[in-house]
Each structure stands twice: as structure tokens, then as C-alpha cells.
Chain A
Amino acid sequence: MLSFLTPARRGSGLGMAMPALLLLLAFFVIPVAGLLSRSVTEPVTGLQNYETLLGSATYLRIFFNTFLVSGLVTLITALIAFPVAWALAIMPSRVAAVVFAIILLSMWTNLLARTYAWMVLLQQTGLVNRILMAIGIIDQPIQLTNNLIGVTIGMVYIMLPFMILPLYGVIKKIDPAILQAAALCGATKGQALRRVLLPLATPGIASGALMVFVMSLGYFVTPSLLGGTANMMLAELIVQQVQSLLNWGMGGAAAFILLVVTLALYALQLRLFEGKAR
């Protein structure tokens, strides 16, 4: 099809992109580049900030915490999201609409409000501890905040929608006839699930999992409020170095590591899923 948008009549259009381009260059690219450059220039030129970060047990512990929590959050959300997305894809649409409204409501409710709810629910005298004691699982209130358990619960709560929605998109597109064919071929429900539905949903699971993992790696608010200073994660380290210690070199180095991991995982995601879509 010939397009009528000939350059002569509409212009190349690059000019229209200028405000956004200049804004991002001045207040995104240059500041981020500046921050990263300070990691190798402050306090003196060299890689000493990276050596400190990757060479001391204290900092490695932070990396370990970050990857552990992100991994756990990804795993738990995936386990919950698959049956939920599957159910949403085949449920009567009225019921599904209600569930969707709840998902969107929770997604768009202020992050601090949601985290606050979990801080209250998970505290020593909180509802969760009281219910657990009432049904006899525990005798004494257990510590659920100011540690990685609290962070993980809070993060699962926040990340669930980001796993359910893409997964739902993938499952919804699966032609029901494929599973009818599987049943006619003699597959039991379990076999059809394992050999047909799961493999077909795998791109959605993997794509959602990568997204949740990457978002968790750089999360600041929830780990900071539910984890406490003793169980720091990477984003908190960056903030601490810059805000409390005014150590821009270390902050920049930690930011650079987070940036590289994030971009690498996104590149992987693009490679894996754009390639398949083509």
C-alpha cells in the first residue's frame, strides 16, 4: 500500500520528537551518565569503588539479599499467576471482569498505602500473627517485618499484577481447539496441562518472570519500609551511600552494577521474545 505521507507534505517528523528528545537528553541521559562517571572518578580515579563493592562480605551480602528476594518473589508470583491467569482466560467474562477490577485497583493504589497496610498486618501484634496463633500454627508472635520475609510478602503483593497481566494475554490467545485436539488424541487433563498448555504458556511465564525479576532488583520503597536497615537491598545501598554517607563514588558504582544487570536482562528479554514473535 502506498502511503500518502510523502515527506514533501508532512515533513520528516523528526522536529516533533525534539521536545521529548531534548528533555530526556538534558534530564535523563546526562545526569545518569554523570552519576556513573563519578563511580570511577571519586574519590580518586580508578576502579577501587567496584573492588570494594565486589570484594567485601558486607556488600556481597547485599547483592545476595537482592537476588534472593527477587528470585523468591519471581518464583512465588509465577506459581500464583499461572493458575489465576488461566482461570481468568476461561472464566465467564463477568466474573473475570470483577477479578480484573481488583487487580487494577491494587496495581494503581498508592504504593505507600499498600506497603503501610502490610507493615500494620505483619507487625508483632498484627492481624497475621494473631490469626496464625488463633489457628494454632504458632504459639508466639513471629518476626515478620524488618526482615526479608516481610520484604518478600510485600513485594509479591506488588508484583503479582505484573505477572498475571502478560501471562493472561498469552493464555487468552491459545486456541481452545488445540486443547480439544489434545483431549481427542487421548491426553488426560494432567498430560494436556504438562505437554500442551504449559509449553504454550511458557513464553508468557518467562517474559513476566523476567519483568518481575528486573523490577524487584531495583525496588526501593518496599524493601526499605518492610526490611529495615539490617537487611539492605541494592537500591537501598545506593540511596544510603548518596544520601547519608555522601559517597557518590560508591553510590555510582552500585547504580552502574544495577543498571548493567537491568539492561542485560531486558536485552535478553527482547532477544528471546521479539525473535519468537517475528
Chain B
Amino acid sequence: MTSPHLHINGIRKTFGDVVATDHVELEIGEGEFMTFLGPSGSGKSTTLYILAGFQDPTAGDIRLRGKSILQTPSHKRNIGMVFQRYTLFPHLSVGENVAFPLRVRRAPQAEIAAKVKRALSLVRLDGFEDRMPANMSGGQQQRVALARALVYDPPVLLMDEPLSALDKKLREEIQYEIRRIHQQTGVTILYVTHDQEEALRLSDRIAVFNRGRIEQVGTGPELYASPATHFVADFIGDSAFLTGELAEVKDGRATLRFTDGTVLADVPMHGVGAQGGKAELMLRPERIDLSDTVGPPGASLPVTVEDVTFLGNNSAVTARTGWGEPLYIRLNFGHPMMASVSRGDKLHVRWQPQDAHVFTKE
């Protein structure tokens, strides 16, 4: 078996008593766009800083093309990085900023000129060589930073929330640019963000971080369709959770009993749970159907409609289960129930068996 392009091997980092990351284990292929997604303080940035060499891990190893890089100082790692804050050198022109990595590598003048031109062209800033950073917008500055990080063809490009200082419209524009540049150059990218939409838009795979650990790694559709934990289900897409008791556990499938006696049988289950333990049923509002007839056992529940809000291309329905928990349902425009559903209706929610997940609760 060939070794992966980049192997983050069991990284653990503690600051005094605080554990910033724990057992972070990840293999990243060459040319892959991998995103670290998670809330602030989840350890995604710490992992990135360890890769950059700004911090040393307490335990674990980082291997690039099979070789550990932990003993290599930051400036010799040859890694590219775009920072959250604007980090263009304020006293140098755009051209000189992009040339900087080549100059410190003592590259010949002709090569520098050619590579700078190519890098600026890649980020669509042709002819900006003589501009000073202070006279550029935030979006332009980050594109120059991207050119500067790519000009020396690094084996890995780190991006630490590079768009968080920009407004939404500009962010989407540059996300598109980053995707195009990734496809064009084939560079391996590690991207840190707390924005799930950004992660889904950009990445080949996403590693979801929570409390210093990776909860799940997968493509966007994988994470959406089969979240491994409550946290992942909650972080990616919308979700509703119904709390009940495990009546039976068998072969990764569970039977749930709710407080009013309602029973749902044969739901796919994640995590370890014993009979009698607490568990949650997770449903996606857009994957639930509303109907006046009861569905197949294990994939249907009776509810009472409490509120209906028209939102344009869909309607948000708030319903309540027999035991009093709220459940949100999204009906697309044109759904047969859309016109008729109203407050107080006693109806049934139905779903496809593979859309329901049970997570055990500690």
C-alpha cells in the first residue's frame, strides 16, 4: 500500500490542563480538497497551526509524502498558507509580495518574473504588480495572499478561514475562485472553516471537528445522509431530534419507545446503547412527508399541526407529537398538502426508513 500524501497521525495537543486536540487521525490524498469544519475551539485551527509548525504537538506525528515534518522549522516546510487576517507585507507592492517566497529561495530573476505573472494571472489579478496592498479591497488582498502561497508550488496549501472577514456576496465569489484554482492547479488544500455551507461548496471531503476530536470524515452527501453522531447531524443541514427509550437493540437497529407509548421499530442506530437507555431519533425537516394516512410501521408517527408559515418555495410546518415534542417539517411548493394543511389538523408524518437515525444519549 502506498503511503498517503499527508498523514496526520494521532495528533494530541494540550495547553496546561486544556486539551486542544486529541487523537486527530486523518489521511489526505494528493490533490484532495479537505475541509476542517467545526465551531470555534473545536481544535481545527490548532491542528492547522501544528501543520504549519507554529505549534508543536504534545503527541503524534505529521507525515508529508511518508516523511515526518515535525522536526522541520516552519520556514523549511515549504507549506503554503492563507491566513484569516490580511497578511500582505504592507511595505511591498503586490508583485513583490508574490515574489517574496521566491526571493528568499534565491530564485533567478527571470524565473521570479515569470512565476509572479503566472500566479497573479491564476487569481485573476493580471497587471496588479505595482499596486500597494493598502489600496486594495479585502477580497483582492486575499487573492494576492493566495497567489503568494501558491507561487512556489507547495505540496500542501493551508487556508485558515480566509474569507471570514469578507461580506457574504464577496465570499461566494471567492469560494468559486478557490474551487476553480483548486481544479486548475491540483494543489492539495486543507481548509478551515466554521461555515457548513462553505465547507459543502468547496470540499472533496470534510472532517467535522468537535471538542478537539474528529467526529466524522466524509464527503458532503455522506455526512448529510448518514451522520455518525448527534453533533454531525446537528452541524450539517437542519435536523429535528425526538427523545425516547431504547426498547430493543439488535444488529445495529433499534426499537424506540416514546413516553406516550408510541413505538418505532427497526430504525438504523449509531453508537452503543443498551436496552432501557435513552436515545434520540433524528429526522431532516425536508425529508419528512406529511400525509392524512398512516405510513409503514417504524417510519411514521401521528402528529398535530400547530403552525404553518409560507416561505416562498416551501412552507414550514410546526407539528407536535403525541407526547408533546415539536417537529419541524418542510413542504416544497406544489406538495398536495400545502394548500390544505392548517392549524389543529391531526395528520401523520412519514419518512423513508434510511432517512431516520438513532443516536444514543449519554
B-binding residues in A (CB < 8 A): 2, 4, 6, 8-9
List, sorted by A's number, 10 A–B pairs whose CB atoms are closer than 8 Å: A2-B45, A2-B46, A2-B49, A4-B49, A4-B54, A4-B55, A6-B54, A6-B55, A8-B56, A9-B54
Contacts of B46 in A (CB 8 A): 2
Enumerate the 5 nearest inter-chain pairs by beta-carbon distance, A residue then B residue, closest first. Answer: A4-B54, A6-B55, A2-B45, A2-B49, A4-B49
Q: Bound state CA distance, A63 and B301, in angstroms?
A: 92
List, in ascending order, chain A residues with CB within 8 A of B49's CB: 2, 4
Given A2-B46, A9-B54, 8 extra CB contacts under 8 A = A2-B45, A2-B49, A4-B49, A4-B54, A4-B55, A6-B54, A6-B55, A8-B56
One digit per residue, 1 when the CB lies within 8 angstroms of any chain A CB and 0 when it does not, for chain B 15-47 equals 000000000000000000000000000000110
Minimum CB–CB distance for B82 against chain A, Å:
15
CA distance A4 to B56 in the complex (A): 11
* Residues of B186-222 contacting chain A, CB below 8 A: none
CB neighbours of B55 from chain A (8 A): 4, 6
In chain B, positions 27-86 with a C-beta closer than 8 Å to chain A are 45-46, 49, 54-56
Nearest CB of B to A162, in Å? 32
CB distance from B15 to the nearest CB of A (A): 9
B315-353 interface bits toward A, Cβ cutoff 8 Å, 1 = contact, 0 = none:
000000000000000000000000000000000000000
A contact face: mostly helix, strand, loop, or mixed: loop
For A8, the chain B residues whose CB sits under 8 A away are 56
Interface bin, chain B: under 10
* Bound complex: CA A9 to CA B46 (Å): 16
A4: chain B residues within 8 A (beta carbon): 49, 54-55
Cα–Cα, bound, A2→B21 (Å): 14
A6–B45 alpha-carbon span in the complex (Å): 15
* B158 CB to nearest chain A CB (Å): 13
Give bound CA distance, A6 to B56, whole Å: 10
Complex: how many Å from CA A4 to CA B54?
Answer: 6
Question: Measured between C-beta atoms, what is the minimum distance from B47 to chain A in Å?
Answer: 12
Q: Which residues does chain B contribute within 8 Å of A9, judged by CB atoms? A: 54
- Which residues of chain A come closer than 8 Å to B56, judged between CB atoms? 8
Minimum CB–CB distance from A205 to chain B (whole Å) comes to 35
Q: How far is the CA of A6 from the CA of B73 in the complex (A)?
A: 14
Chain B: minimal CB distance from A4 (Å) = 4
**Cα–Cα, bound, A2→B45 (Å):** 9
Kindly report which residue of chain B lies nearest to residue A3, judged by CB atoms. Answer: B54
The answer for the CA separation of A230 and B157 in the assembled complex, in Å, is 77
Q: Cα distance A33–B54 when bound, in Å?
A: 45
By beta carbon, the residue of chain A nearest B15 is A2
Residues of B within 8 A of A6 (CB): 54-55
Closest to A9 in B: B54
Q: Name the residue of chain A whose CB is nearest to the CB of B74.
A: A9
A102 to chain B, nearest CB (A): 30
What's the Cα separation between A9 and B49 when bound, in Å? 13
Least CB separation from B40: chain A residue? A1
Instruction: Give every chain A residue within 8 A of B54 (Cβ-Cβ).
Output: 4, 6, 9
Min CB distance A164 to B, Å, is 30
Specify the chain A residue showing the minimal Cβ separation from B45.
A2
Q: Measured between alpha carbons, how far is A2 from B55 in the docked complex, in Å?
A: 10
| Min distance, Cβ A11 to any Cβ of chain B, angstroms | 15
Q: In the complex the two chains form, what is the Cα distance from A4 to B55 in whole Å?
A: 7
A155 → B minimal CB distance (Å): 42
Q: Tell me the bound Cα distance from A2 to B160 in angstroms.
A: 12
* Distance to closest chain A CB from B29 (angstroms): 28
Q: Which residue of A lies closest to B46 (CB)?
A: A2
Q: Which residues of A contact B45 (CB under 8 A)?
A: 2
Smallest Cβ-Cβ distance to A4: which chain B residue: B54
Chain B min CB distance to A5 (Å): 9
**B208 CB, min distance to chain A CBs, angstroms:** 20
B71 CB to closest chain A CB, in angstroms?
Answer: 14
B200 to chain A, nearest CB (A): 26
Bound Cα distance from A8 to B56, whole angstroms: 9
Closest CB in chain B relative to A84 CB, distance in Å: 32
A8 to B74, CA, bound (A): 13
Nearest CB in chain A: distance from B14 CB, A: 14
| A204 to B55 Cα, complex, angstroms | 44
Q: How far is the CA of A8 from the CA of B49 in the complex (A)?
A: 14
Closest to B53 in A: A9
Please measure, in the bound complex, the distance between the C-alpha atom of A4 and the C-alpha atom of B49, giving whole angstroms. 8
In the complex, chain B residues whose CB is within 8 Å of the CB of A2: 45-46, 49
CA distance A120 to B45 in the complex (A): 69
Looking at the assembled complex, report how far the CB atom of B73 sits from the nearest CB atom of chain A, in whole angstroms. Answer: 9
Distance from A118 Cβ to chain B, minimum over Cβ atoms (Å) = 44
Complex: how many Å from CA A8 to CA B45? 19
Which single residue of chain A is at the shortest CB-CB distance from B52? A4
Of B45, B49, B54, B56, chain A has the most CB atoms within 10 Å of the CB of: B54
**B21 nearest CB across to chain A (Å):** 12
A136 CB → nearest B CB, Å? 59
Q: How far is the CB of B192 from chain A (nearest CB, A)?
A: 12
CB distance from A89 to the nearest CB of B (A): 26
Q: How far is the CB of A1 from chain B (nearest CB, A)?
A: 8
Rounded to whole Å, the gap between the CB of B83 and the closest CB of chain A is 10
B245 → chain A closest CB, angstroms: 42
1/0 per residue, CB under 8 A from A, across B147-188: the answer is: 000000000000000000000000000000000000000000
Once bound together, how far apart are the Cα atoms of A9 and B73, in whole Å?
A: 10
Measured CA separation A9–B54 after assembly (Å): 8
| A102 vs B1: C-alpha distance when bound (angstroms) | 78
Docked CA distance A2–B20 (Å): 11
CB distance from B324 to the nearest CB of A (A): 43
What distance in Å separates the Cβ of B85 from its nearest Cβ neighbour in chain A?
A: 9
A7 to chain B, nearest CB (A): 11
CA A9 – CA B56 in complex, angstroms? Answer: 10
A218 vs B112: C-alpha distance in the bound complex, in angstroms? 60
Q: Which residue of B lies closest to A8 (CB)?
A: B56
